[in-house]
Amino acid sequence: YGGSRVHDLDTVGSLGIQNGDEVWVSVVQLGGKPVIYLFPPQPVPEATVSVKLVPEWSFTHIYPLTDIKTIDNGHQCLTWSLSADVGGTLVERGTNLELSYLFWEAASGSNIPSSPPLTPVDGSDDAFRRSSERFDPAYPFLEPHTPTSVLLPFPELLSYLDTALKDLSLHTSARNDFITYWLPKLSKQPYVALRFLPQPVYERAAELLVNPKPDVVTRVFMLFRGVPEDEVRSWSEARERAGSVNWPSVVGITEEAYDTSVFRVLDWGAMEVFRSMYSVLDTRDILLICAWP
C-alpha cells in the first residue's frame, strides 16, 4: 500500500488507509531448487560457475556456501570455483567438498508494480515468443490462456512430468529429484496447470555463466499451480493441449543436449505460482488478506 509492503502488525489506522484506496496484494514467489550439473567429456581441473539475478529476485539459500555480491542496479550474483570429472562429480576448490550439483534458491522482492503485470506475448511462433516474453520472478504468469499452459489431473501428472523431463534431457536421477522435491506442492489440488519457460526467457531472469565455456547449456524451469475442481472448466483449452505441446521445441532444446561426447551443463528448477490481487479497498469491510495457490 502506498508503494510499500504492509507488515503483519500494521493496521488500517496506522497506515492511514482511506475508503477507495487501491491495494495490491501479492505473495513472495520462490524459485525452488534450481540445481546445476556439469558433465564434461574429460576432467576439468578448474572451472567457475556464476549466477546473476534480476533485481526482482534475491538469493535465499545456496550450496555450497559462497559470497553473494550485490552489483549494479541491485543485481545479486555469486560464483563457485570447482573441478568436474567425467561422471559429473564436482569438487569445490579450497574445501575439497564433493558434490553432485550446485544448488541455489531465490525469493521475489517487495517491489510494488505501478500497474498489474502484463501478459506474455500470445502467438504460435515459439521463436518469436522466446525473444519477446519477459519472466518477472515477482509476478510469474500462468493462466488458462497462456499459449503453452497445460492442465492435468493429478493421477496423470507424474507420468506426464517424467516423460516431459526426459524429453528435455534430464537423466533418471535428475527427473526423480525434480518430481520428489516438488511432489508435496504438486499434490495439493486435484488438477495441476504447468508450463516450461523458453530458455532465453529464463536466462534473462537468472543469467548463468560457466567457464570454460560448455558446448551446450540446457536450462529447464517450470511454472505450476494447483487448480481446484470448480475452476477446471476455464482451463478446458489447456487440458486439450496436454498431449500436443512439444516441450523441447518450446524450451529450445538442441540435439547436443543428449550428446555425452560434448561438455554439457544442465540446470533445472521450478516455481509454484500464486495469484496476486489488485483491489479498491472499502474500509467499512473487515478484511482478511491471505495467500492462496
pLDDT (mean) for 90-114: 84
- Residue 24 scores a pLDDT above 60: no
Grid coordinates standing for 239? 487440458
Residue 161 φ/ψ, nearest 5 degrees: -60, -45
User: What's the per-residue H, E or C state across the chain?
Assistant: CCCCCCCCCCCHHHHCCCCCCEEEECCCCEEEEEEEEEECCCCEEEEEEEEEECCCEEEEEEECCCCEEECHHHCEEEEEEEEECCCCCEEECCCCCEECCEEEEEEECCCCCCCCCCCCCCCCCHHHHHHHCCCCCCCCCCCCCCCCCEEEEHHHHHHHHHHHHHHCCCCHHHHHHHHHHHHHHHCCCCEEEEEECCHHHHHHHEEEEEECCCCEEEEEEEEEEEECHHHHHHHHHHHHHCCCCCHHHHHCCCHHHHCCCCCEEEEEEEEECCCCEEEECCCCCCCCCCCCC
Give the Cα-Cα-Cα angle 49, 54, 60 (nearest 5 degrees): 70
Quick one: pLDDT at residue 1? 46
Better-scored residue on pLDDT, 207 or 5: 207
- Which of the residue ranges 26-35, 200-209, 246-255 would you say has the lowest mean pLDDT? 26-35
- Residue 121 scores a pLDDT above 50: no
Bridge-based pairing state of the strands 206-211 and 191-196: unpaired
pLDDT (mean) for 244-256: 96
- In angstroms, the CA 142 to CA 128 distance is 19
- Mean pLDDT estimate for the chain: 84
Buried b or exposed e, range 163-196, using 16+ CB within 10 angstroms: ebbeebbbeeebbebbbebbeebbeebebbbbbb
Quick one: pLDDT at residue 287? 42
pLDDT band, residue 138 (cuts 50/70/90): confident
Quick one: pLDDT at residue 140? 87
Better-scored residue on pLDDT, 112 or 75: 75
pLDDT (mean) for 94-104: 96
pLDDT band, residue 177 (cuts 50/70/90): very high
Quick one: pLDDT at residue 115? 41
For the chain, percent of residues with pLDDT exceeding 70 = 76
CA dihedral 172, 174, 179, 185 (to 10 degrees): 180
- In angstroms, the CA 151 to CA 273 distance is 14
Q: Decide if 285 contacts 239 (C-beta within 8 A).
A: no
For the chain, percent of residues with pLDDT exceeding 90 = 67
pLDDT (mean) for 75-101: 96
Q: Decide if 194 contacts 222 (C-beta within 8 A).
A: yes
pLDDT band, residue 2 (cuts 50/70/90): low
Please list, in sequence order, all residues whose beta carbon lies within 8 angstroms of the beta carbon of residue 249, skipping any fewer than 6 positions away.
Answer: 126
- Residue 196 scores a pLDDT above 70: yes
pLDDT band, residue 33 (cuts 50/70/90): confident
Listed ranges 16-20, 22-26, 75-79, 136-140; the one with the highest mean pLDDT:
75-79
pLDDT (mean) for 174-189: 96
